[in-house]
Structures are given as structure tokens and as C-alpha cells.
Amino acid sequence: MKVSESHLLIDAHTFNPYRWLEPNHVKKGGASLGPFVNLAIFSAGVRVCVGWRFAVVELQAFIVELLSNFEFFKTPQIDKIRPEMAIAVVPTIEGESEKGTQLPLKVTFARKGEE
């Protein structure tokens, strides 16, 4: 059976920008339990977070502001970053999980108008 024939819509390997434009892109008959149910951050079903769309737009706006105003560079520790399950997935450094969340990046103000 091909991956795309499974009961879930698993077609990440296919170039299809329309997936973001079609609100009901989920394959008919497939599982649809709620927004980002695979991430389990907004819950699902009847108790799904009613603010999830607003929260996602807020995060998108926040990311656009960050990327517009700052530049992010790797540090030597970048290869040691590991995902750790807390309430959400957080980055930690291999062998230093007792220090909690760490994401060692070099951050500078973005150079405006230079390309």
C-alpha cells in the first residue's frame, strides 16, 4: 500500500501549496479530530480550544516580527540540542537537561537594507 493510500492524509512528500488554502484539505473519510491534533497542544473534539486560530495567528505574527528584526546564527552547541517532552516539546542540551530549556543561538539585530 502506498503511503498516500492510508486512511490518514500523509502526503508531505508531494508539492501541494493548495493544502494551506483549502480549509477541508483532509481526505474524505480520514481522521479529523481537531486542529493540530498530532501535536496535542489545543486538545481535540468537543473540548478543543476555541481560541486556537487566534493563537496560531498571534504566533505567526510574532515569528514574522522576530525574523524581520533579528538574525539567528548557529552556535557550536547546535548539534547537541535535543527535544525534551515537558507540557510542550522544549529544546535542551544533551547531557544538560537538568539545566532546563536551552536554545543557544547567536541573535543580532537584522541588517536593514543590506543584501
Residues near ligand HEM (CB under 6 A) are 41-43, 47, 49-51, 54-55
Q: Which is nearer to ligand HEM, 3 or 59 (CB)?
A: 59
SS3 62: helix
**CA-closest candidate to residue 70, choices 104, 112, 103:** 112
Q: How far is the CB of 41 from ligand HEM (least distance, A)?
A: 5
10 versus 44: smaller Cβ distance to ligand HEM: 44
Determine what percent of the chain falls in helix, strand and coil, rounding each to the nearest 5.
Answer: 30, 15, 50
Query: What is the DSSP code (8-state) at residue 26?
Result: S
Determine the Cα–Cα distance for residues 45 and 49; give it in Å rounded to an integer: 9
CB of 50 to ligand HEM, least distance (A): 4
Shortest spacing between CB 80 and ligand HEM, in angstroms: 27
CA–CA distance, 69 with 8 (Å, rounded to integer): 38
Residue closest to ligand HEM when measured from CB atoms:
51
Residue closer to ligand HEM, measured from CB, 43 or 77: 43
> Which CB atom, from 54 or from 72, has the smaller least distance to ligand HEM?
54
